[in-house]
Amino acid sequence: MIRRNRELQFSKEELLDEGNKTGWFENDLLDRGPHIRAVSDLLLTTQGNFVMTVSSPWGTGKTTFVRMWKAYLESKGCPCVLFNAWEHDFAENPFLTFIAEMHSQLRMVQGKGKKTRTVALNELKKVGKKLFPRLISLGTKGLLGVSVDVEKLLGEDFGKGLSEALSGSLEAYASDVMEKHDATKELVNKFKAELTKVVKSFGDKPLFFFVDELDRCKPTYAVELLEAVKHLFDVDGVIFILSLDREQLGHSVRAAYGDGIDADGYLRRFIDLEYRIPKPSNEAFVRQLSEYYGVSEYPIFKNKRDLDACVEFENEFIMITKDWTLRAIEKSFLRGSIMLRGIKSLADHGTTRAKVFAHYICLCEISQDAFNTLAKGDDKKQFPSLMIITMHKILILNLL
């Protein structure tokens, strides 16, 4: 049994279990595999429904972590749906968009139970279409993940009808509201029943929903999706993994409901467990990028005498970017690798020049203006011979 409303952590012993001997993560240079295995083993023993967040700041590899995790679970026979919230937040309502994406991905899953699953998915989609208008009708504004301006949506007739009801037919008006509310609850129950059929079609495996980049969405979209998850998908065997920056999502909540709301308390209503992705080694990441792009095979490092220069380039790049996000490192390294491909040889003083190139590449990422000033200067042709201390000064000035 998992204790809810807490932050999940693992001991070194738990991370060094037998799962590492399977070979699945042997190319995982950021050492994320043991964490994915440990969390997966825990969630696969969970009963009921569950909502978990994978939290870390922007640019620290959440999307890569989530995609690797999804692939690992699928290799274990677990059905998974990946929904990139930011790619879909142009849509007015996350509820319908999410259902459409779920239907599209799960109907492609082969194997036992496919016929039953297809029927249930089609029915689920139909119920969702019927449910949506109910969710925005009077009496259900803000309920079940749809926070829209009903009066604006329904027009002036809505206001006129409400006035008539208040002045002469309050009882009839109240009855109508209650009937609509009961009808909405009936559709919600139908929706959950069909979702349960979908889950059971996979046998004893839970259904995993991965929602990525929720913190980058419009505040209203993010909040509406959270509320839909809470109210409509709380079915046994459904596990939601929300990839986000908890602090940024808190800003979205306050933007939607006002600065006075307790954003952390609000989020605890939806989130059962939080897992913070351990900060990976920037050094391992740079080494991985260098191997992936084949930097040691570039003409600049091809000569035997230049092999040490390649290592020095990596070391210097690692030193400069020790506090950078993975996304910033990858972006800078890609630009730099393109530049390095066009250089034929380091000639003399190879290791020194290699270090300078590392600074040159990083400066381009930090300040394009400083980079251009230096590159277009009178000593442009002599640039590789600039003293490293000078490059350090330029970098420091632009970091402050």
Residue-wise pLDDT for 70-105, tens only, equals 989 998 899 999 999 988 888 877 888 999 999 999
Structure tokens at 351: 């290791």
Task: Count the alpha carbons within 13 Å of 160 in the hemisphere toward its beta carbon.
Answer: 4
The confidence score (pLDDT) of residue 152 equals 45
Q: Using CA atoms, how far apart are residues 331 and 326, in angstroms rounded to an integer?
A: 9
What are the tens digits of pLDDT across the range 244-277? 888 888 888 888 888 888 888 888 888 888 888 8
CB burial of 108-139 (b: ≥16 within 10 Å; e: otherwise) equals ebeeebeeebbebbebbbebbeebbebbbbbe
Q: How far apart are CA 345 and CA 337, in angstroms?
A: 14
Domain boundaries, the chain: 6-276, 282-399
Cα-flanking dihedrals φ and ψ of residue 139, to 5°? 95, -15
Q: DSSP states of 333-347 as a string? A: HHHHHHHHHT-----
Taking the C-alpha atoms of residue 60 and residue 245, their distance in angstroms, rounded to an integer, is 10
Please state the φ and ψ torsions of residue 54, each to the nearest 5 degrees. -110, 110
Residue 314 has, within 13 A of its CA and on its CB side, a CA count of 20
Q: Record the tokens describing residue 95, joined without a space.
A: 């509820």
Q: Which of 5, 2, 1 is nearest to 267 (CA)?
A: 5
Determine how β-strand 238-244 pairs with β-strand 273-276. Answer: unpaired
Residue 140, C-beta contacts closer than 8 angstroms, at least 6 positions apart: 134, 146, 180, 181, 184
How many whole angstroms separate alpha carbon 277 and alpha carbon 318? Answer: 21
**Which of 82-86, 175-179, 344-348, 393-397 has the lowest average pLDDT?**
393-397
**In which band, very low, low, confident or very high, does the pLDDT at 24 lie, cut at 50, 70 and 90?**
low
Q: Which DSSP string corresponds to 292-316?
A: HHTGGGSGGGTSGGGHHHHHHHHHH
Question: By C-alpha distance, which of 399, 388, 247, 392 is closest to 323?
Answer: 399
Residues 6+ apart with CB under 8 A from 268: 5
120: which residues sit within 8 A by CB, 6+ positions away? 194, 195, 197, 198, 201
What 3-state DSSP class applies to 52?
Answer: strand
**How confident is the model over 288-312, as pLDDT tens digits?**
888 888 888 887 777 666 567 888 8
Higher pLDDT, 215 or 28: 215
What's the sign of the alpha-carbon dihedral 10, 11, 12, 17?
negative
- Of the candidates 171, 184, 112, 108, the residue with the CA atom closest to the CA atom of residue 143: 184
The rounded percent of the chain whose pLDDT value lies above 90 is 14
- Looking at the predicted structure, is the pLDDT value of residue 194 above 70? yes
pLDDT exceeds 70 at position 63:
yes
Q: Residue 128: name the closest of 154, 150, 92, 103 by CA.
A: 103
Question: Would you place residue 372 in the very low, low, confident or very high pLDDT band (cuts 50, 70, 90)?
Answer: low
What confidence category does residue 123 fall into, taking pLDDT thresholds of 50, 70 and 90?
A: very high
Least confident interval from 229-233, 346-350, 386-390: 386-390
Of 106-120, 235-249, 326-340, where does mean pLDDT reach its minimum? 326-340
Residues 40/241, Cβ–Cβ less than 8 Å: no
Confidence at residue 10, expressed as pLDDT on a 0 to 100 scale:
47
**Helices 350-366 + 326-341 axis angle, to 10:** 130
Q: How many angstroms separate the Cα of 101 from the Cα of each of 69, 117, 125, 284?
A: 19, 15, 10, 35
Q: Locate the DSSP E strands across the chain.
A: 6-7, 50-55, 80-84, 207-212, 238-244, 273-276
Residues of the chain with pLDDT > 70: what percent? 68
Task: Mention every residue, 6+ apart, whose C-beta is less than 8 A from residue 32.
Answer: 25, 61, 64, 65, 68, 277, 280
Which of 67-81, 210-224, 354-368 holds the top average pLDDT?
67-81
